[in-house]
Amino acid sequence: MDYQFVTYSVKDRIGFITLDRAEKRNALNSQFISELKEVFKTAEDDESCKVIVLEANGDVFSAGADLEYLQSLQSYTRQENIDDSNHLMGLFKQIYYLKKVVIASIQGHAIAGGCGLASVCDLSIAAESSKFGYSEVKIGFIPAIVSVFLLRKIGEGKTKELLLTAKTISAEEAVNIGLINRCVPKEILKKSVLDLAQRLCTTASEESLSSTKLMLAELQNISLDEGLDLAVQKNAIARENNDCKKGIEAFLNKKDINW
């Protein structure tokens, strides 16, 4: 499929999804969201891709919603606004439950919806110069959809602080509160992300990565006892799969294993 706002390529089992609307600071609109949904589905189904990197062209990772898009929302009916909100929710939920690990490579500022996009990725590395923030309340809007994921990720206290104050924070602070995993000098960002993606590709079973990611998502919705029961079932199922048998055999025989 030809995309207007994104590109997709695969190299050495790493799928690269690139936000490619640099002239508009990678601002999101309905078409952009549709293309992201399609390309994430393509990457998920692509057998040559084991790990996904979400990156962006230009100086900004994503500035959030496109201004023309925001203006058009003012004339929407309630149902049109519900449908449009479901559209963005669907993208965030898709990434959260995607069968493959998604690493965000954040080279520049991630604001509002752009920060939400980075937040729902499984792992994230940012340039030290990048900034993060949810500015919705400043324009009379609310950061509704991302709040569901933020509460899970960084807890109620920090979520309230970010969303109610709409303050912009540094990459270092984003690491400290658990919003992202690491920040590095911009000149080594690509190498740092590539090293992480390659490590997952070569040292971990694809089936194990997928099962662990989806199990962690499920555990958020259930009680402690239900979670322990689920863990027991997942543990038993994992022991039956070929990757586990292959891995244990290699470990017991002190052989290297190339996943």
Looking only at the bridges linking them, the beta strands covering 110-111 and 123-127 are: unpaired
Instruction: Report which of 120, 127, 98 is spatially closest to residue 15, judged by C-alpha positions.
Output: 98
* Cross-strand bridge partners of residue 16: 9, 53
CA angle 138, 57, 90 (to 5 degrees): 60
Can you tell me the distance from the alpha carbon of 104 to that of 22, in angstroms, rounded to the nearest whole number?
Answer: 17
Here the tokens at position 8 are 């997709």
- Name the maximum alpha-carbon separation found in the chain: 67
Catalytic residue among 136, 161, 173, 240: 136
Active site residue 136: yes
Residue identified by tokens 């490619």 is 20
**Phi, psi dihedrals of residue 104, rounded to the nearest 5°:** -90, 130
Here the tokens at position 104 are 């965000």
Catalytic residues: 136
